[in-house]
Amino acid sequence: MNKLKTLALVGALTAVGTFYSHAQNLVADGDFTANASAFVTAPGLINVPTGSWPNNPAAIAGWTVSPYGGTDIGVNGTGAGSGYNVFGPYYDGGHTYAFVKTSGSAIYQFVALSPNTTYALEFDAAGRPSGDASTFSVRFGDPFDTFWSSGSVAADYFAFTHYSYTFTTPGSLAMPTIQLWNDSSSLGDTTVNFANVSLIALPQPARATLVSDNFSTADANNDLNANLATRQGGNLATTGYYWGCFPPDAIGITNNAIMLSSVRTDYETPSQVILNQNLFSYEVSNSFRVECDVNITTGSASPSSWAAVSVCGGAELSGLTEGFHILIQPYGDYCIYNLFDGGTAVGVTMVYSTNNHHVVIDVSNNVARVNVNRMAVPFAMGTYSHTITSAATGATNYVSFRLYANTGATPSIATFDNLVVSTAPVTTPAPTLVNPAYNLGIGTASFQFNSVAQGFYVLESKTSLTDPTWTKVANIAGTGGVQTVSFPSASPTAFFRLRVPVP
């Protein structure tokens, strides 16, 4: 009996990072020393309202007083011009610190945070012994919501306590701020004090690129599928990766970007290109990201002119009836971003018009977040996330990616460039190949292995273990659970391995 011999050699998909102890502190004046020496008049309060403490600054350098609270805020401690420890704990330990005296008050500043990034936050905090019981919190948020908070913490009035946290930002950010709050329940003297506030970005795990395309090459007929090997990248780049164009005469490549033009007024039949009918499988628990640069020009500010970036189901569609879409529509001095889930509008925002749009669509646990030019696009007032209704829980949802252009009576041109479809790192354990078989009648070999959903494997073979190299047979996308692999094999005796490529 002929048997197929198997050999499993797998390279793990890993992310290796180094912690930099001298990484840049993203908080300006986190030690509150920048203008501390100018607080010369005790008890160290800011000069607000003007004239109340005329010899002191009107603000702590780099920080703004929240409009929702009082102005009993200032600087005390070793570096303060007054040298007083009026509002601090029994033992200030040589700290220079900002104090926030009144419950419901806060100071904040804008910080340059990146989406989907992990940060380390450290600070010292204390209460005031002569006051009432006090609590505090440190929060990070956009204008309408808070995406991370330390929660209310009781302040120690004897000495400063050091606190350390890590947190990860969401997929989209609008105007992120760090906020130092007095959360005390009492309305009396509930002073809280903050010192040595530090925020650094931690090394990030590499994302696995599924497909990337910079559209740098095409043939004379503007065939988007010509010369793919010279420009494509990612783990799925050679697994039937192709572009479909509808209609073909509206598609081209110019300045190394896809160009779509259209004079169609029918919303359901815009010019479009499609990246694979079933690009990859998506479970609701998975996460992936789509990034693309979009430019749109139009002869008039017609409401029916738009460009779109779309994450869709696998079915061939004539219009925006399935999946998740962002439409970019120039309109006079403004640009309107419309968000759709299937054919239903779920959000709209208006910004000053620009011809350059870097679109990022993040989907994690079936929740989508969108930002354009690093600005979060809200789905509703104060809501920067949306649960996708067109994905089925517990099912395999096949994903394709589409670019659209549509116009009114005046032709418009949309260009798309620098496409990257990526997924969060997937830890793929070494698979065990079982149940090898060879069908002599049709000349096919097969085996089974336990796959990981969104895991990627490269099947390779050789006819003898003494051969110096392995030959690639196929790329295999993991579906989760036991997976059967079947492929042509001229010989009933061969050696095979599954390898996980490192992105």
Q: pLDDT digits over 1-18, tens only? A: 222 323 332 222 222 222
The mean-pLDDT minimum among 31-35, 46-50, 108-112 falls in 46-50
Whether the link from the prior residue into 429 is cis, omega within 30° of 0, is: no
What would be the CATH architecture of the domain defined by 36-201?
Answer: Sandwich (2.60)
**pLDDT at residue 276, rounded to an integer:** 60
CB 1 within 8 A of CB 437: no
Architecture per CATH, domain 1-16+425-503, reads as Sandwich (2.60)
* CATH 3.40.250.10 describes domain 208-423: no
Measured in whole angstroms, the distance separating CA 144 from the mean position of its chain's CA atoms is 19
Higher confidence at residue 9 or residue 238? 238
Block residue for tokens 């219009």: 319
Band the pLDDT of 407: cuts 50, 70, 90: low
Find out whether 403 and 310 touch, Cβ atoms under 8 Å.
Answer: yes
Please state the separation of Cα 478 from the chain's center in Å.
23
Give the bridge partners for 99, in sequence order: 74, 193
What percent of the chain lies above the pLDDT cut of 90?
17
| 15 token code pair | 């992310």
Strand partners for 338: 327, 348
pLDDT for the residue numbered 143: 62
What is the model's pLDDT at position 131?
67
Instruction: Tally Cβ neighbours within 10 Å of residue 409.
Output: 11
Question: Rounded to an integer, what distance in angstroms lies between the CA atom of residue 28 and that of residue 30?
Answer: 5
pLDDT tens per residue, range 117-167? 888 899 999 999 876 789 999 999 876 578 899 988 999 999 898 898 888
Higher pLDDT: 315 or 390? It is: 390
Q: What is the largest CA-CA distance in the chain?
A: 98
Strand ranges (E), 153-229: 153-154, 161-168, 177-182, 192-201, 208-213
Residue 295 and residue 405 in contact, taking contact as beta carbons nearer than 8 Å: no
Q: Is the pLDDT of residue 235 over 70?
A: no
Half-sphere exposure of 239 (CA within 13 A, CB side): 19
How confident is the model over 180-195, as a mean pLDDT? 88
Q: pTM for the complete prediction?
A: 0.52
pLDDT value, residue 40: 92
Measured between alpha carbons, how far is residue 313 from residues 257, 280, 322 in Å?
24, 10, 6
With b for 16 or more beta-carbon neighbours within 10 A and e for fewer, the 95-131 pattern comes to bbbbbbbbbbbbbbbebebebbeebebbbbbbbbeeb
- Kindly tell me if the per-residue pLDDT of 299 is higher than 60: no
CATH 2.60.120.260 boundaries in the chain:
36-201
